[in-house]
A and B are shown apart, each in its own frame.
Chain A
């Protein structure tokens, strides 16, 4: 009897307390994706766009599209609630899309600070910046692959992360990169796709690269899709990476594609006359998918030729990515963390921001070719 009573008391802890906070799923307006744009008429305000399913058999549409103008995120959500017959919940939001203008002006960071304070917001929400269009164009598009924009965006990001085409950037990663000394945040950039003129492109999105943000959370530069691969290699996010490049072998340009099976990066920081110097050593293990080269790939020395050409290619392109980030003043690779670890007394966040632009950074690349395709003579 006493055990039963104890069980009832324990269960009551779980069950009874929820009455005041009861939420019936059928009565909820689940938000899945939101877009943030500047209000061109009032720079202090922004426009929040949202789409959420109606879950109603009598509704004329399966999704409800809403726009609201506001000064703050909470206020925008309250405004949205006043337009809905259901309770608005934010916990299911999977993507937040910002216009490039919002990312460059600092609005993105203001919103992200506010998102951090929304208790029911999912910290694993994808962050995206759209180029060439407004964020609301993304939220209100009609993707061919999926009727629901939010589900489509979520799948595009997850699938491309799994395929090694894009890094997984969530709200929590943004917050951590923003707060941590010696590293700056990045956010994937998308563009709308479709036939015809720009304003009519509503078929879907393409991940075109990565936005580099500075310590204030403002977008300072853009890495294209290929440069994004190098960023992923530098930061160990090369999950199932596949790359294509054009190698200079025997004085001819040869199209090559390969899997990056393994990569390791060693960073050796130093201070020379007060100037930071970073010697980067990258070791890669690649599996060549195809190469446009009329040669017997089992011949001795072929692997070494490809390795040398790939190392040279990597070195040039990867170093170019570092140079770009130095020009923008955004240490998105997180080299500052290595300086902080080696020289904790010297390192100050503000100092590193100044020094990073002029830091002497070198890169040495070693490539190991594990195999070359499935044909003895690729260009037969």
Chain B
């Protein structure tokens, strides 16, 4: 199906998922899974990726029942005005908090490793400026930018390979020795790093080829799973599991081992490019939040909400007073936010099934 200029193509939807999921979380993921699953952390990532695919299936089952509706419309139609609005507001808050958390983690990295003396608010305002601007331009503009950023991501992952000379496969052996329970615990921790693709709840009506949404979503999630698992394998192989667990930012420590003929600090080069990825992730969430607000309030355009809501994201990003609090916020967003979205999807699916609500059936009648 050919997309019109207001709809997302398959590749654009793929790019939106990649940008929405690949945020700042990747920088701490090796430590997170190492603590739970030791050397088998990469197996946890694969298991978490499988879980994310199952979650994507649930999202798709819900969305395909209402192919022209976004989350606020679905929730009002399924749960009624009051409960539907409450569910939508919760999702919107979740999207803003996630956007803020992505920005804050990235600012922590920049503030620690690159620009120590630059005040944090400068980063927030610059990131927010671009995020608000891109989100305000609408889904297709956002998706086009995500296309470019995704291409850039491939280049960045080539740079990611520079410390490969220090790789030692013994650090990853034996495989499976940590046990099924440990691997499963690691998978649970890693699952939160896959959050972001639930933006499908908002983007689904905007996608041109809805027949292929599930396929494209699964391909994107497999791509992300491979990137995450590869990242963990490389970090473990170069730093060793024990040393990885000592690092606050293991991926930065991993990248610092690499060097290029034209750049000794590979981590700085990667962070330079990763800025676009962070902005992309935040912009997808910000768009999802503000677009949902627009739909909920009956406004056709969401411009006003994109211009009005950025202080909420700024507050979330700026509120934590220390790195410990930042990690707590990220943990909370991951656990409770993930549980919230999963709960919303399951609730809507169950109620829609019980009430026999299916837009496709109605249109066929």
A interface with B by C-beta (< 8 Å):
2, 5-6, 9-10, 12-14, 16-21, 91, 119, 122-124, 172-173, 175-176, 179-181, 334, 337-338, 340-342, 344
Chain B positions within 8 Å of A338 at CB level: 170
Interface pairs (20), CB distance under 8 Å: A9-B126, A10-B130, A17-B115, A17-B118, A17-B123, A21-B115, A21-B116, A21-B118, A119-B113, A119-B116, A172-B239, A172-B256, A179-B240, A179-B246, A180-B242, A334-B170, A341-B173, A342-B174, A344-B174, A344-B177
Shortest Cβ distance from A181 into B: residue: B242
B45 to chain A, nearest CB (A): 20
B59 to chain A, nearest CB (A): 30
Chain B positions within 8 Å of A12 at CB level: 126, 129
Chain B interface size range: 35 or more
Chain B positions within 8 Å of A9 at CB level: 126, 129-130, 133
Chain A positions within 8 Å of B264 at CB level: 91, 122, 124
B202 in contact (CB, < 8 A): no
B117 in contact (CB, < 8 A): yes
| Known A16-B126, A341-B170; 13 more pairs at CB < 8 Å | A2-B137, A5-B133, A18-B115, A19-B118, A91-B264, A172-B257, A175-B243, A176-B240, A179-B246, A180-B171, A180-B241, A181-B242, A344-B177
Chain A positions within 8 Å of B118 at CB level: 17-21
Roughly how many angstroms separate A12 CA and B243 CA in the complex, as a whole number? 36
Shortest Cβ distance from B258 into A: residue: A124
Instruction: Give 5 nearest A-B pairs by CB, closest first.
Output: A179-B243, A20-B118, A180-B240, A344-B177, A179-B242
Shortest Cβ distance from B175 into A: residue: A341
Interface mask (B255-270 → A, CB under 8 Å = 1, otherwise 0): 0110100001100000
B243 near A180 with CB under 8 A, answer: yes
Chain A positions within 8 Å of B112 at CB level: 119
B170 near A337 with CB under 8 A, answer: yes
B134 in contact (CB, < 8 A): yes
- Select A20's contact among B117, B130, B170, beta carbons within 8 Å: B117
Chain B positions within 8 Å of A181 at CB level: 242
B166 in contact (CB, < 8 A): yes
CB contacts under 8 Å to A, within B112-140, are 112-119, 122-123, 126-127, 129-130, 133-134, 137
A229 to chain B, nearest CB (A): 20
Task: Given A119-B113, A176-B240, decide whether A16 and B166 contact each other with a Cβ distance below 8 A.
Answer: no
- Select A6's contact among B133, B174, B239, beta carbons within 8 Å: B133
Chain A positions within 8 Å of B17 at CB level: none
B275 in contact (CB, < 8 A): yes
Chain B positions within 8 Å of A342 at CB level: 174
Roughly how many angstroms separate A344 CA and B241 CA in the complex, as a whole number? 14
Chain B positions within 8 Å of A179 at CB level: 240, 242-243, 246
A341 near B115 with CB under 8 A, answer: no
B126 near A91 with CB under 8 A, answer: no
Chain A positions within 8 Å of B170 at CB level: 334, 337-338, 341
Residue of A17, A119, A181, A341 with most partner-chain B CB within 10 A: A17
Chain A positions within 8 Å of B279 at CB level: 13
Roughly how many angstroms separate A238 CA and B77 CA in the complex, as a whole number? 70
B33 in contact (CB, < 8 A): no
Chain A positions within 8 Å of B116 at CB level: 21, 119
A10 near B276 with CB under 8 A, answer: yes
B272 in contact (CB, < 8 A): yes
B166 near A21 with CB under 8 A, answer: no
Chain B positions within 8 Å of A172 at CB level: 166, 239, 256-257
Roughly how many angstroms separate A21 CA and B137 CA in the complex, as a whole number? 33
A176 near B243 with CB under 8 A, answer: yes
Shortest Cβ distance from B176 into A: residue: A344
A176 near B239 with CB under 8 A, answer: yes
B27 to chain A, nearest CB (A): 15
Chain B positions within 8 Å of A337 at CB level: 170
Chain A positions within 8 Å of B239 at CB level: 172, 176
A186 to chain B, nearest CB (A): 14
